């Protein structure tokens, strides 16, 4: 999550290039007036955590209705696969992680252990059990709980390089480069029919709203 008072708020949906955008902004703070800036690159209690939801921020930020609000959305099949691989990559360093938020840390450890003990197709419904049927990442992070529009503009992850000049201008860092951060190695994930149906059901809004394919292999 990145917020600049009276200017904009970037909602960070997991595995959509948010660390790259946040790093680009944080690396160029000398270009702007840094007062009134909130950057969450870690996990903090309540609204200041990295993946703060729009409906939380809309009640926390006094200028929410006056500023630009945007997020990056990604094909849910690819975002889920990327999240699984990322969770698996954390295992060797778990003991080195220090977190002020103990509840978050315990949830994080549980998620990492699940990714390293469950086959991918079993992990999907285990990890995403919180996702309400018929919703998805956009609804969960960028809409109100009842699906009401909160004025967040969507940029597609698949077109992020194309959109970056516009986003950099919006963030007050025109001409800044977009680094490639927090990447994971590409590895095939095996989709079983039951996991496919789970995603079609739970991420239905993402698939339909942004016209992503209904099949993970397309």
Q: Is residue 215 one of the residues assigned to a domain?
A: no
Q: Which two tokens stand for residue 140?
A: 């969960």
Q: Is residue 218 one of the residues assigned to a domain?
A: no
First to last CA, the chain: 31
Confidence of residue 34 (pLDDT cuts 50, 70, 90): low
Q: Is residue 217 one of the residues assigned to a domain?
A: no
Q: Is residue 127 one of the residues assigned to a domain?
A: yes
Confidence of residue 111 (pLDDT cuts 50, 70, 90): confident
Q: Is residue 76 one of the residues assigned to a domain?
A: yes
Q: Which of 41-55, 78-92, 104-118, 197-211 has the lowest mean pLDDT?
A: 41-55
More confident residue, 2 or 149: 149
CA 191 from centre of chain: 22
Q: Which two tokens stand for residue 132?
A: 């309400």
Report, as an integer, the average pLDDT of 93-117.
Answer: 72
Report, as an integer, the average pLDDT of 113-136.
Answer: 95
Q: Is residue 214 one of the residues assigned to a domain?
A: no
Q: Is residue 157 one of the residues assigned to a domain?
A: yes
Number of domains composing the chain? 1
Query: 7: buried, middle or exposed (CB in 10 Å: 19+, 13-18, 0-12)?
Result: middle
Looking at the chain, the whole-number percentage of residues with pLDDT higher than 70 is 85
Domain residue limits at 114: 2-209
Report, as an integer, the average pLDDT of 50-79.
Answer: 93
Q: Is residue 105 one of the residues assigned to a domain?
A: yes
- Quote the DSSP letter at residue 125: H
Instruction: Give pTM, 2 decimals.
Output: 0.89
Q: Where are the alpha helices (DSSP H) in the chain?
A: 18-26, 54-60, 76-90, 102-117, 120-127, 137-142, 160-170, 193-202, 204-209
């Amino acid at each position: 999550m990145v917020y600049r008072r009276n200017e904009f708020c970037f909602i960070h949906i997991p595995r959509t290039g948010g660390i790259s955008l946040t790093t680009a902004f944080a690396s160029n703070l000398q270009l702007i007036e840094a007062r009134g800036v909130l950057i969450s690159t870690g996990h903090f209690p309540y609204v200041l955590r990295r993946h703060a939801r729009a409906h939380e921020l809309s009640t926390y930020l006094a200028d929410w209705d006056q500023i630009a609000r945007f997020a990056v959305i990604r094909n849910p099949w690819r975002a889920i696969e990327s999240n699984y691989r990322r969770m698996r990559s954390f295992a060797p360093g778990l003991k080195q992680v220090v977190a002020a938020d103990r509840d978050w840390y315990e949830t994080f450890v549980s998620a990492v252990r699940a990714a390293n003990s469950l086959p991918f197709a079993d992990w999907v419904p285990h990890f995403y059990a919180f996702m309400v049927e018929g919703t998805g990442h956009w609804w969960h992070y960028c809409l109100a709980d009842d699906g009401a529009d909160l004025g967040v503009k969507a940029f597609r992850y698949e077109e992020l390089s194309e959109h970056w000049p516009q986003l950099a201008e919006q963030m007050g860092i025109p001409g800044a480069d977009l680094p490639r951060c927090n990447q994971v190695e590409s590895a095939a994930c095996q989709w079983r029919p039951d996991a496919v149906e789970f995603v079609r059901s739970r991420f239905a809004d993402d698939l339909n709203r942004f016209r992503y394919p209904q099949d993970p292999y397309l």
